[in-house]
Amino acid sequence: MSPRSKNSPAAAKRKRRAPERGGRRPKKQTCEFCDRTKGHVDYKDVASLRKFMSDRAKIRSSRVTGNCPRCQRKVARAIKNAREMALLPYLGR
Amino acid sequence: MRTYELMTIFRPEMAETDVRTEVDRVAGALTERGAEITKNDFWGKRRFAYEINHLTEGYYSVLEFQSEPAAIVDIDRALSLSDQVVRHKFIRPD
């Protein structure tokens, strides 16, 4: 199958995007939790939750992380639960 | 029946064997109230991300179980009153 064929995933993605008029090219949005864990976010998994926090321990917005709204809520909830159990800090630095 | 997860932090100055018996006591109290323990995960000593009551570490334990919502009410109270428990939390995983 050629990479330019009509039903390749790359072709579908290009088609969906609005024509660009210069300016900033939007970053590809991928929700990590959606595809990796099928929507389940564990508050005990500190290492992967840290990726959704700034280095001052603030929760990163979905605009930054590219999370879908559903996963963003779950990630935020999980971080807050982990904070209550002192697995993650309320404030860093 | 609902799935619950109970995370408990015990005081660091306790002996590990005492903590384990304490965890078993909690698990026993749960089964007594009709809960079914599915996982008993003991993490051991772990540093806190921030200071709690002038403590910097504690023993973590995670119990996973199925039970009716009513069963956890007493346990929740007992854990809040216990001197050996720094913190505890019931979580309903989705």
Interface of B with A (CB under 8 A): 7, 9, 48-50, 52, 58, 60, 62, 87, 89, 91, 93-94
| Contact residues on chain B for A93, CB-CB shorter than 8 A | none
Q: What is the mean pLDDT of chain B?
A: 92
Indicate yes or no: CB of A40 within 8 angstroms of CB of B94. yes
pLDDT in tens, B20-45: 999 999 999 999 998 899 989 999 99
Give the integer Cα–Cα distance in Å for B45 and B19: 10
DSSP 3-state assignment of A60? coil
With a cut of 60, say whether residue B53 has pLDDT above it. yes
- The predicted complex's ipTM stands at 0.84
B45-67 average pLDDT score: 93
DSSP 3-state assignment of A12? helix
| Neighbour count for residue A74 (Cβ, 10 Å) | 21
Which domains can be identified in chain A, with CATH numbers?
Answer: 42-93 (4.10.640.10)
Which residue range forms the structural domain that includes residue B60?
2-91
Nearest chain B CA: its distance from A81 CA (Å): 8
Please say whether the beta carbons of B44 and B16 come within 8 A: yes
Interface of A with B (CB under 8 A): 39-40, 42-44, 74, 81, 83-90
The CATH number of residue B30's host domain is: 3.30.70.60
Q: Residues with Cβ < 8 Å from B6, sequence gap 6 or more?
A: B26, B30, B62, B63, B64, B65, B72, B75, B88, B89, B90, B91
Indicate yes or no: CB of A42 within 8 angstroms of CB of B52. no
Cα angle vertex B88, ends B83, B90, to 5°?
Answer: 145
pLDDT in tens, B69-87: 998 998 999 999 999 999 9
Please report, for residues B9, B35, B59, B72, the alpha-carbon distance to residue B26 in angstroms, rounded to integers and kept in the order given: 13, 11, 15, 11
Indicate yes or no: CB of A83 within 8 angstroms of CB of B49. yes
Q: What is the mean pLDDT of each run of 10 residues along chain A (93 residues)?
A: 49 54 63 68 88 91 85 90 93 81
Q: Residues with Cβ < 8 Å from B57, sequence gap 6 or more?
A: B12, B45, B46, B47, B48
What is this structure's pTM?
0.76
Residues in a beta bridge with A11 = none
Number of domains in chain B: 1
> Edge-to-edge, what's the strand order for the sheet holding B85-91?
B36-52, B55-67, B2-10, B85-91
Please say whether the beta carbons of B2 and B72 come within 8 A: no
